Structure 1
Amino acid sequence: MTRATRRHLLLAALLPLAGCGFELRRAPELKFRTIQLANFPRRSPLADELRMNINASTTTLVVEGIAQAQVVLEAIEDVREKVVVASGAVGQVTEFQLRERFRFRLRSVNGRELIPETEILQNRDLSYTESAALAKEQEENFLYRAMQTDIVSQVMRRLASVQTY
């Protein structure tokens, strides 16, 4: 098979995909230009990911002061929990439940409530064995990051639903 023939076959195989409408997911377009993130715990990974996602949008920027902000996303609760759900006959833990809870509200700078107090709760089960403690710690970190990413996605969709501020 010649080089030209191979190129034509490849082009023919890719041609049906050209009009499929596939597009990479991008940050939703928010209706306000500036937002302040308030009352988050110091060094909150959730706040960091939220800031990164908002700044990735083409329309909105996170600002530090309320003087520059059009709206304020106020964190009421940003908590990670780890609860024992099962233990063996000798009291050794065999399963945990990981939870990430985020409660927030969105208001305009003049105090008008745009999103009332809302809670997003994620939880995941994590089996545990002492012989694989290091691997389970890494799995726990992975699960917390996955829950955090899901919460940020939900918050971004809710922010995008705000029409007026």
Structure 2
Amino acid sequence: MPEPSLRSVSRRRLLLAAAGLTLAGCGFRPRGMAGLGAPTVQINNVPRTSPLGRAIARRLAGSETRWVEPPEAAELRLDILSYREERDILSLTPDGKVREYLIRASLRFRVLDKEGQELLPATELSAERDYSYDDNLITAREKEEMLLYDDMRQQLVDQMFLMIGRTIASRK
């Protein structure tokens, strides 16, 4: 395969630089994490050190919203009403051993403003994944299950933040 000439490489770089300058000039910037539409939020019923608390903190770290403790300092109050993770057998081998599991995570929450008015009523979100299981690879499968739960937890937190952000934006 022939190598690209110096002229075509320079032309390509020049076009890419021009496109970048055009996008920067019009105000384009890559979209970051969507915030909640409020500078501060109080989050109830979830410790910051729990897996769900860490997922929420990760999501907030990418936005302009801060997690505050005293209710008086918060523009929003996010009440985590419940969070569940469960595992069910999806299929068995002919000799009765587990072949596949179905795991689920569900998150129920509501959002209030600083006056205590309900902005978003109790809402439930859920996610599920399945994975194959092998008795010979127990440690690897346990690690896979843990990673799948982490992924579902982050998915639920992202969905929750999108719903809250849209609700707040529609009220402005």
- TM-score when normalising by structure 2: 0.80
Q: Are 1:30 and 2:27 counterparts?
A: no
Q: Which runs of 5+ in 2 are unaligned?
A: none
Q: After superposition, give the CA deviation of every residue in 1:89-146 in whole Å (9 maximum; x if it has no partner).
A: 3321111101111000001233211111111100001111111222212221221122
Q: Bigger CA drift: 72-81 or 83-92?
A: 83-92
| Shift of residue 42, structure 1, vs aligned partner | 7.0
| Residues 12-161 of structure 1 aligned to structure 2 (within 5 Å) | 12=14, 14-15=16-17, 18=20, 19=22, 23-40=29-46, 43-58=49-64, 60-161=65-166
> Do the aligned residues in 1 keep the contact of 2:91 with 2:98 (CA within 8 Å)?
yes
> Do the aligned residues in 2 keep the contact of 1:40 with 1:78 (CA within 8 Å)?
no
> Do the aligned residues in 2 keep the contact of 1:41 with 1:78 (CA within 8 Å)?
no
- The alpha-carbon distance between structure 1 residues 85 and 71, as it changes in their structure 2 partners (threshold 3 A), is same
Cα distance in 2 between the residues matched to 1:23 and 1:94: 47
* Count of matched residue pairs: 163
Cα distance in 1 between the residues matched to 2:68 and 2:9: 51
| Shift of residue 39, structure 1, vs aligned partner | 0.9
> Do the aligned residues in 1 keep the contact of 2:35 with 2:60 (CA within 8 Å)?
no
2:13 to 11, 16, 26: 11
Q: Which runs of 5+ in 1 are unaligned?
A: none
| Shift of residue 30, structure 1, vs aligned partner | 3.0
CA RMSD of aligned residues (A): 2.8
| Shift of residue 6, structure 1, vs aligned partner | 7.2
Q: Give 4+ residue runs of structure 1 displaced > 3 Å after superposition.
A: 3-7, 19-25
Q: Which protein has the bigger helix share? A: 2
